[in-house]
């Protein structure tokens, strides 16, 4: 594709000499399971938006379901559609109001998916992840990469409320995991753990592993992780205590490790049929269970132990995306207390997205977080001036990842 310079949109602050092209490569869904990388028009930012050159997009556990069409008419609402909501890059143009608030070309940033309308009661009380205008772009809501255009492209436009500046000490690749790290921190905080508490994480997938790191960062005394295989071994290397459900009953395993009391905070990060029921039975009296895993077949989920909920005052709370935790988790990512880079296992160019998706979905070769690089081979990655890679996948230069497990 030949980049064709386009005149800056009126009112935009554009990077001098950057030459924003008219076209870009983007991953485009044309229907359930049908997608291709093709040239599309570079989007134009509105007055409160930023146009960013995308350096890195990470595949999220929700992406395979969005691509497969598992949420018809919801994620996405219509086709064609570009997914991708875990990303980092560089600002190349800022809308007029965004510029007035200090946003400018050249800033290194990362995005998250939710931008609330800002007008409803939920948004005005800080719970923009529960925006009452959800799904209605005409009323100002956006969820990028879900039903609003996402970042699996060379450029992306997002509202300033969903974009965050990266500290100098954080690489663009590690910064691309801001969204899942902020979700993990929101999930951990929802249970209100006290310093020194023993907590349980059910499911050592990427969100579960980030929840381990966030629980440690906020002062958990012990973190027990329920899972199996190499992902459970990875959690153990992060400092968690393993509970292998293939070798023992996970409920009894948790209770045995807590002197029969259970844990005051349990995080359900698997979204499997029986795991929420198990989480309730792992909780201590008066404990809190936070569910962040989303089942694709809700009808198959086991019923909850109602008497336990009532007689032991066990609370069950949901955790949707994040709210106001991006600014909180960024310093933890930068100072190494939430080292997101340790979860990165693979990189692929955008034109090999199908291979990247298969690698992630099938947990091939120990895949945890799989990165996609939209810029052409040889383009600088914005972290240390190194090339972003070759047209074939290459493993991350962080700690080797475990081979896949089920949870």
Instruction: Indicate if 114 belongs to the active site.
Output: no
Cβ contacts of 58 within 8 Å, gap of 6 or more: 86, 87, 176, 177, 180, 369, 370, 371, 372
Cα 141 from chain centroid?
19
Cα 87 from Cα 162, distance rounded (Å):
11
What is the H or E stretch that residue 259 is in? none
Cα 374 from Cα 154, distance rounded (Å):
5
Would you state the torsion angle of the CA atoms of residues 360, 365, 367, 373, taken in this order, to the nearest 10 degrees? Answer: -70
Neighbours of 35 (CB within 10 A): 21
Neighbours of 406 (CB within 10 A): 16
Cα 124 from Cα 115, distance rounded (Å):
13
CB < 8 Å & 24+ apart, contacts of 75-80: 75/146, 75/147, 76/29, 76/146, 76/147, 77/135, 77/147, 79/29, 79/30, 79/31, 80/28, 80/29, 80/30
Cis peptide before 80 (omega within 30 of 0): yes
Q: What are phi and psi of 116, to 5 degrees?
A: -75, 170
> How would you label 107-137 residue by residue, b for 16+ Cβ within 10 Å and e otherwise?
bbbbbbbbbbbbebebbeeebbbbbebbeee
Rg (CA), the chain: 21
Helices 326-334 and 178-190, packing angle to 10 deg: 110
Instruction: Indicate if 159 belongs to the active site.
Output: no
DSSP secondary structure string, 270-290? S--TTHHHHHHHHEEEEEEEE
Fill in the DSSP letter of residue 18.
-
Per the structure block, which two tokens stand in for 39?
């040239």
Catalytic residue among 14, 62, 90, 198: 62
Q: Give the β-pairing of 34-41 and 142-143.
A: unpaired
Neighbours of 42 (CB within 10 A): 23
| Residues with catalytic function | 62, 65
């Amino acid at each position: 594709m030949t980049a064709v310079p386009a005149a800056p949109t009126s009112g935009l602050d554009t990077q001098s000499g950057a030459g924003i092209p008219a076209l870009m490569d983007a991953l485009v869904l044309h229907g359930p399971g049908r997608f291709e990388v093709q040239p599309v028009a570079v989007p134009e930012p509105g007055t409160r938006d930023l146009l960013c050159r995308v350096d890195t997009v990470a595949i999220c556990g929700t992406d395979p379901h969005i691509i497969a069409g598992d949420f018809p008419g919801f994620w996405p609402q219509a086709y064609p559609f570009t997914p991708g909501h875990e990303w980092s890059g560089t600002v190349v143009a800022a809308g007029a109001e965004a510029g007035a608030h200090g946003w400018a070309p050249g800033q290194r940033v990362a995005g998250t998916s939710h931008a609330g309308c800002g007008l409803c009661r939920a948004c005005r009380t800080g719970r923009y992840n529960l925006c009452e205008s959800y799904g209605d772009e005409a009323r100002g809501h956006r969820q990028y990469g879900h039903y609003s255009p996402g970042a699996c492209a060379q450029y992306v436009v997002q509202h300033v409320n969903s974009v965050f500046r990266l500290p100098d000490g954080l690489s663009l690749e590690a910064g691309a995991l801001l969204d899942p790290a902020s979700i993990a921190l929101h999930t951990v905080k929802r249970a209100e753990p006290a310093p020194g508490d023993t907590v349980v994480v059910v499911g050592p997938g990427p969100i579960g592993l980030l929840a381990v790191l966030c629980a440690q960062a906020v002062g958990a005394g012990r973190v027990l992780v329920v899972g199996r295989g190499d992902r459970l071994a990875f959690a153990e290397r992060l400092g968690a205590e393993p509970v292998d459900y293939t070798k023992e009953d996970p409920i009894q395993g948790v209770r045995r490790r807590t002197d029969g009391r259970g844990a005051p905070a349990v995080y359900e990060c698997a979204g499997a049929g029986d795991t929420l029921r198990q989480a309730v039975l792992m909780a201590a009296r008066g404990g809190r269970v936070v569910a962040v895993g989303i089942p694709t077949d809700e009808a198959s989920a086991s019923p909850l132990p109602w008497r336990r909920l009532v007689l032991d005052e066990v609370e069950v709370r949901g955790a949707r995306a994040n709210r106001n935790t991006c600014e909180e988790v960024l310093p933890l990512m930068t100072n190494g207390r939430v080292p997101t880079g340790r979860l990165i296992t693979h990189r692929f160019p955008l034109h090999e997205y199908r291979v990247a998706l298969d690698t992630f979905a099938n947990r091939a070769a120990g895949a945890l977080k799989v990165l996609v690089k939209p810029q052409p081979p040889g383009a600088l990655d914005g972290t240390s001036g190194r090339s972003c890679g070759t047209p074939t996948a290459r493993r991350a230069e962080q700690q080797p990842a475990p081979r896949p497990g089920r949870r």
